[in-house]
Every structure is written in C-alpha cells, then in structure tokens.
A and B are shown apart, each in its own frame.
Chain A
C-alpha cells in the first residue's frame, strides 16, 4: 500500500516536473503505523491522502513530496521518526503525530528545530499546547478534554448515572479525556468512585474486569485500538452487563469496525468526540464522499474515523496557508506561520476551527451514541452539537490552571472548580 502510494507520487512528480518550476515542498508524515494503534494510524494516512487528492498534490504552486515515517505510540518512536524526516530528509513541514504522549515529545523536539513547522496530526494530550507551548507547533484538533465536552452532563442528567468508575490506558491522552469527563460530570453532581489505569497494549483484562466495582451506575472506558477490542471481548466472556460510557477512541470507527462480535457490547453506549458519523452538514457529507470515493470499500472504514478527519484538517490548513503565501517559506517560514495562527477553517468537515494564542484549536464537539445500522454495522449517531469548545472548557483560565495537569488522580471530583 505504502509502496504503491509512493510510486504514484513519484510518477505524478515526474509528469509535473516540466510545469512546476518551484522546488517541491517536502512534507514529513508521522502516524502510528505499528503497534496497538496501527489501524488508527492507517486511517490517519487515508485522511492525509484524501487531502492530497483534493489538492491535486500541490500546495502554493509547489509539488508536494511526502516522506512517511511510522511510530508505535511511544514518545521515543515519535522522536526517532521525526528526527529521521527532519534531519535526514530535510522536510519543510511535518504533519503528525497521532498519539497523546508522542505529541508532547514532538512539542519539545520542535523547539530544537525552529526551521521546520510542525502541524499536529491528531494527538490529543492537553499538555502539548497548554504547558510551554512551542512557537512552531500548531494543533488544529481539540485535545482529549475538549472531546469530552457535553458527555459528563449528558450521562448525569439524561442517563441518570450518579456514580461512575473509570478504566483507561495509563498515558497522557486518556488522562486528558478522563480529566474533561470528570470536570463536567462532577460539576453536574456525579461521583467518580474508582479510576483504574492499565498499561497501553494490555492484552489480558481478566483481572481488571473482575476488579471493576459492581455497585456503580456505569463504567467509563478510556481505551483504544487493540486494547479496546481485547477488553470488550473479555468483558463479554466474563458476562459483564454494566452500563458503559465510551471515551472518544473507544467508540471510534477503528473499534466499531473490528472483526468479530466483541464490539456489540458497545451498542447504545453514549460518547463524545470531534465528529459524528451521521451529521447532515454538507461539508461533512462532502468529506465522507471524498473518502469513500478514493478508497475501495475493503480498504477503508464505511466512513472516516476521527484520525482521518484530524490529518485531513491539518493538511488542508497547511495547504491554504501555502496558497496564501504563494509557496514562499523564506524568512524562517514567518509569513506561513502567521497565516496558520490566524486562519479559520470555516469549511472543515467537523465544524469551524480556529486557533487560540497557544496555537491550539477551538472547535466543535459532538455528543453521540452507538447505533446498529440496518446492515449490521455500527456507527455513531449524533445527539447534540456543542460549538466553540476552548481548551479550558469554559472555565476561567486561572481557575483551570489551579486544577493541575491531567494525571492518574487529577482532577479531584468536586462540584465546582
């Protein structure tokens, strides 16, 4: 797959060589193409390809040359891959990474490479743009806490879940997700009784499942990729029947389209995230169609996952700004970065996106519920759209800082912050 893609690009490059006089624009692409998040990374790559296809592989009058590097969701793999494309292949712009802790690592790395612009793929740890943000790191997706907007309130007030236990992978993105969920849920009046953390890549959840309390109203699942599938499979085998609440990547297309019957435990599970599969917005529909048209049905998901959408948005933002500066990246890419800081992605498939002073997205969030379609597939049905979600989730900045950074036991569950 990767190979054919590169061949296509090189072929296109050869054909276009006579037309485009300007040097090609070198872009590094980083995603988790290995490890427990492989499926997520592959769909991120699809989103990126949809964007390239729409752009005709040109940005600001320059041919785009792509260098793909694989990571495995660990920060050191992300830095290794970034080093390779930045220092060896000398890219102008890097798009990626996908996973939370990778994002934090690349923020730090980006400070040592001021000549390169880093556009986040879809990593969603809060710290990446909230603590010591880097001048040349831009994030056009919301973080994990923003993706939780609307969920805590909904499960308390509409579903009537008064006590919840959480289980999540032990790393920054899931901390951020639980953070966002807890803020809203606890303010609404709910109580979080236990928080379980498992290492990323856990395969055997048997004992964790047994340790889940029986006397809570619902269990919040902050797992993704292979871990999510393994958990659901073993949860079903153990006869689990508690109410579930899904974290964003727990109910994403990457899990809803896994092989086997494990995913059926998710039917009816409420969740929230940066998109909803059945949103009737024309921009979203157009993006879904472009995605479906570009790939064969057996080589993609029925509709794009949020990984695809995230990489697509980042790439489109980059292309618009390249257009605006006419492909000119001189002066340390200053004009290009000014444009990125102030651009508003009006036509983004998942609602308008703009950046705040830390180059972090302010965007739209979606409250969803998993439904079974007529053909037996699962998808996310829209319940509510929440617009203009910023990184502090509407809380005053000083008060938000006082809560502390998301971690295993931050935030405390309080009725006001």
Chain B
C-alpha cells in the first residue's frame, strides 16, 4: 500500500478522490442539483448494488475458468455448458426436494464429477496441444448444448429461492427524504445480497486455499512451472484432476445462482462463456484477484450502462475489453 503510494502519487490521489466521491454518493442525501443532473439516488444505488452482485455471479463462473487456464493452459470453451448443466441439475434438485440449499452441493458434485471425466478422458489425452484442446472443447460445448436442449427443452427454468429469501429487505441506505422529513430507506432483493455474500466467501476461501495451504502451494507451483513441479515428484495429474473438478463445480454452483436470480435456458451457456472470457481477459488470464476485479468491472458496466445509456450498454463491456487490451494486454492483474 505504502509502496504503491510512493511509486504512483498521482494515481493514488485520483483513486482516493474517486473513492471519496463514491462514498459520499452512497451515504449522503443527494442535493437537488445532483438529482437533476443524473436522476434519483435510488436508481444510482440500485445500479451500483446490482453491478456488484452481478459481478459476484460473473466471478463465480470466471474464477473456475481462470483457475483451469492458469494451471493447465487449457482454454476450456465448454465452461459455459458446465454452467448450464449446473443450473439444470440445481433446478431438478430444488424441485424434487423442495430445498434450495441442497441445489448447491448437488450441482457442485454432479458438474465436478463431469469435470473429472472431461479431464481424464479428453484433456489428458491431448496435453500441451492448445489448439486441439480448444477445438475439442468447442465441439463438446455444441454437443452438450444439443443434449441439454433434448433433455430439458427450450423452456425457461426458474429456481425458486425459499420463502425467507424471496422479496426485498430494508437496507440502511437513505435514498431520499420525504417532505415530512421522514427518511426513505432503500429496499433491495434479499436473495441478491445473500448470493453476493456467498461469492465473497468463495473468493476469500479460494484465496486462502491457494496462498495458505499445501495444495495451494502445489497449484501455484504448477502455474509457474509445470514441468519443474512434476520433476520434483509431485503427482501433478492428480492436482490437475482436482483443480478441474473444482473449477467445473464452481461453474455448476454459479448455474444455480444464475438460475435463481435470472433463469436457466438454452443459450445461457454461450452468454456465460462469453462473459467469463471477457472477465478473464480484462482481469488477466490465470489470476483469481484479476477475475474478481474483472467481474466487478463488467458487472458494474452492464448495470450502469443499462440505466444511464441503454442504447450503448452492450458496447460498454467490449469497450472496456478493448481499452484493457490496448494498454495492458496481459490484463489488469495479469503477469507478463
């Protein structure tokens, strides 16, 4: 922190100013001129929260993607299909048992197991052949999309959250003051907050796992130099399988999350594959903090775009990607 301030004084001031303005915008009651300029505070706060929670969802999908890439140099273009499969498995579980929470372990296990099969029967056979792996995963994603269409049809599936999670909750953010002087607090969907909290837990857990445990050490060593690691006698194939299963399982869990606050339907696989690609390109291939930052940026861009300049909302995401690629091709947190 200190070193950063010493090395980039100008940037530090700018970042500090932006954070200060943002905090003020979140907590203060907006004066009239600001409301006239950019609309009601409620809209702004909601866009901010939605951007962050959407970023949470993108992070869940993209972190598995980036982990797999970081370790195995394998661009798994079937990652979106894993997401969709998780969504369907989650729906079936929640629908059959009536327990929403059960959908998460079910999706994690089923999709994780599928990931193990993929790793053992597909990727291990073509290790180190990047292009071949990429093409094969595209093929797998197409086949899986059709199989899922065959099994579940083109309907839209909603995974209903339990009673205590549905509906809005009152937050302590003041959005406006009524003429009588009464404060109006913001209401926000409960389920989105819970999901966001869960994605933070997953993120922190992953960071701890990677940085504080022996397995994490193995994985990090594998990311840096795979050949050297296997030369030291580590059972690298086992690590590969475990990481692949974990990454796939995360995509499955993300499918349940996505199915809860959006919906599960054909076509979602491609959308989330694209989103994860954009997120990891912006954040830096193979970096978990990068995936978090990228997911946050993309989520915020989508939500603010949809409210403040709806016509160009779609372009905004890709604009960010273009800017990052132009000035920092390795991604914001990526290493050279």
Asked if A39 and B54 sit within 8 Å, CB to CB, the answer is: no
Look across to chain A and name the residue whose beta carbon is closest to the beta carbon of B187: A239
Is B313 an interface residue when CB atoms closer than 8 A count as contact?
yes
Residues of A within 8 A of B156 (CB): 39, 225-226, 229-230, 258-260
Asked if A261 and B267 sit within 8 Å, CB to CB, the answer is: no
Is A170 an interface residue when CB atoms closer than 8 A count as contact?
yes
Is B182 an interface residue when CB atoms closer than 8 A count as contact?
no
Asked if B267 and A170 sit within 8 Å, CB to CB, the answer is: no
Most chain B CB atoms below 10 A, which of A229, A234, A237, A258? A237
Asked if A198 and B166 sit within 8 Å, CB to CB, the answer is: no
Given A206-B46, A207-B46, A207-B50: A197 and B310 interface contact (C-beta under 8 Å) = yes
Is B191 an interface residue when CB atoms closer than 8 A count as contact?
yes
Look across to chain A and name the residue whose beta carbon is closest to the beta carbon of B272: A203
Complexed CA–CA distance, A42 and B189 (Å): 33
Is A262 an interface residue when CB atoms closer than 8 A count as contact?
yes
Interface stretch of the complex, out of A30-38, A283-291, A382-390: A30-38
Which A residues contact B (CB, under 8 angstroms)?
A: 1, 33-36, 38-39, 41-42, 170, 196-199, 201-204, 206-211, 225-226, 229-230, 233-234, 236-239, 257-262
Interface stretch of the complex, out of B65-73, B220-228, B299-307, B318-326: B299-307
Asked if A39 and B47 sit within 8 Å, CB to CB, the answer is: no
Asked if B189 and A206 sit within 8 Å, CB to CB, the answer is: yes
Minimum CB–CB distance from A178 to chain B (whole Å) comes to 15
Minimum CB–CB distance from A48 to chain B (whole Å) comes to 16
Chain B interface main SS type: helix
Residues of A within 8 A of B267 (CB): 34-36, 38, 201, 226
Look across to chain B and name the residue whose beta carbon is closest to the beta carbon of A199: B314
Residues of B within 8 A of A1 (CB): 150
Complexed CA–CA distance, A229 and B267 (Å): 15
Residues of B within 8 A of A261 (CB): 158, 160
Residues of A within 8 A of B314 (CB): 199
Number of B positions contacting A (CB below 8 A): 48
Look across to chain B and name the residue whose beta carbon is closest to the beta carbon of A239: B168
Complexed CA–CA distance, A21 and B188 (Å): 68
Asked if A211 and B159 sit within 8 Å, CB to CB, the answer is: no
Residues of B within 8 A of A198 (CB): 306, 310
Minimum CB–CB distance from B290 to chain A (whole Å) comes to 22
Q: Can you list the 6 inter-chain pairs with the closest CB atoms, starting with the nearest?
A: A260-B158, A210-B46, A38-B154, A239-B168, A206-B50, A237-B189
Asked if A208 and B158 sit within 8 Å, CB to CB, the answer is: no
Which B residues contact A (CB, under 8 angstroms)?
A: 39, 42-43, 45-47, 49-51, 53-54, 91, 150, 153-161, 166-168, 187-192, 261-263, 265-268, 271, 302-304, 306-307, 310-311, 313-314
Look across to chain A and name the residue whose beta carbon is closest to the beta carbon of B48: A207
Complexed CA–CA distance, A201 and B267 (Å): 10
Given A39-B155, A259-B158: A238 and B43 interface contact (C-beta under 8 Å) = no
Asked if A237 and B310 sit within 8 Å, CB to CB, the answer is: no
Minimum CB–CB distance from A71 to chain B (whole Å) comes to 13
Residues of A within 8 A of B313 (CB): 199
Residues of A within 8 A of B167 (CB): 236-237, 239
Complexed CA–CA distance, A233 and B258 (Å): 12
Asked if A230 and B263 sit within 8 Å, CB to CB, the answer is: yes
Asked if A259 and B46 sit within 8 Å, CB to CB, the answer is: no
Complexed CA–CA distance, A221 and B153 (Å): 26
Given A39-B156, A229-B156, A233-B261: A210 and B310 interface contact (C-beta under 8 Å) = no
User: Of A206, A208, A210, which is within 8 A of B54 by CB?
Assistant: A206
Asked if B158 and A204 sit within 8 Å, CB to CB, the answer is: no
Look across to chain B and name the residue whose beta carbon is closest to the beta carbon of A42: B154
Known: A237-B261, A239-B167, A257-B155. 5 other contacts (CB 8 A): A39-B153, A199-B314, A258-B263, A260-B160, A261-B160
Complexed CA–CA distance, A344 and B267 (Å): 40
- Between-chain CB contacts (< 8 Å), 9 pairs: A39-B156, A199-B310, A203-B262, A206-B189, A206-B303, A207-B303, A230-B156, A238-B189, A261-B160
Residues of B within 8 A of A225 (CB): 156
Asked if B261 and A38 sit within 8 Å, CB to CB, the answer is: no
Minimum CB–CB distance from B192 to chain A (whole Å) comes to 7
Given A225-B156, A237-B167, A258-B156: A204 and B262 interface contact (C-beta under 8 Å) = yes
Complexed CA–CA distance, A202 and B50 (Å): 14
Complexed CA–CA distance, A170 and B157 (Å): 24
User: Of A197, A202, A259, which is within 8 A of B157 by CB?
Assistant: A259
Look across to chain B and name the residue whose beta carbon is closest to the beta carbon of A228: B156
Residues of A within 8 A of B45 (CB): 210
Complexed CA–CA distance, A261 and B314 (Å): 29
Asked if A196 and B54 sit within 8 Å, CB to CB, the answer is: no
Minimum CB–CB distance from B204 to chain A (whole Å) comes to 24
Most chain B CB atoms below 10 A, which of A1, A41, A211? A211
Asked if A211 and B91 sit within 8 Å, CB to CB, the answer is: no
Look across to chain A and name the residue whose beta carbon is closest to the beta carbon of B186: A210
Complexed CA–CA distance, A1 and B267 (Å): 19
Complexed CA–CA distance, A301 and B266 (Å): 18
Look across to chain B and name the residue whose beta carbon is closest to the beta carbon of A3: B150
Complexed CA–CA distance, A197 and B158 (Å): 24
User: Of A197, A204, A230, A258, which is within 8 A of B302 by CB?
Assistant: A204
Asked if A238 and B155 sit within 8 Å, CB to CB, the answer is: no
Complexed CA–CA distance, A34 and B269 (Å): 12
Asked if A211 and B262 sit within 8 Å, CB to CB, the answer is: no
Given A196-B310, A207-B306, A211-B307: A233 and B158 interface contact (C-beta under 8 Å) = yes
User: Of A38, A170, A210, which is within 8 A of B43 by CB?
Assistant: A210
Residues of A within 8 A of B160 (CB): 260-261
Minimum CB–CB distance from A68 to chain B (whole Å) comes to 14
Complexed CA–CA distance, A260 and B306 (Å): 26
Complexed CA–CA distance, A73 and B20 (Å): 45
Complexed CA–CA distance, A202 and B313 (Å): 11
Complexed CA–CA distance, A416 and B42 (Å): 36
Look across to chain A and name the residue whose beta carbon is closest to the beta carbon of B303: A207
Asked if A262 and B158 sit within 8 Å, CB to CB, the answer is: yes
Residues of B within 8 A of A260 (CB): 156-160, 263
Given A34-B266, A230-B262: A207 and B307 interface contact (C-beta under 8 Å) = yes
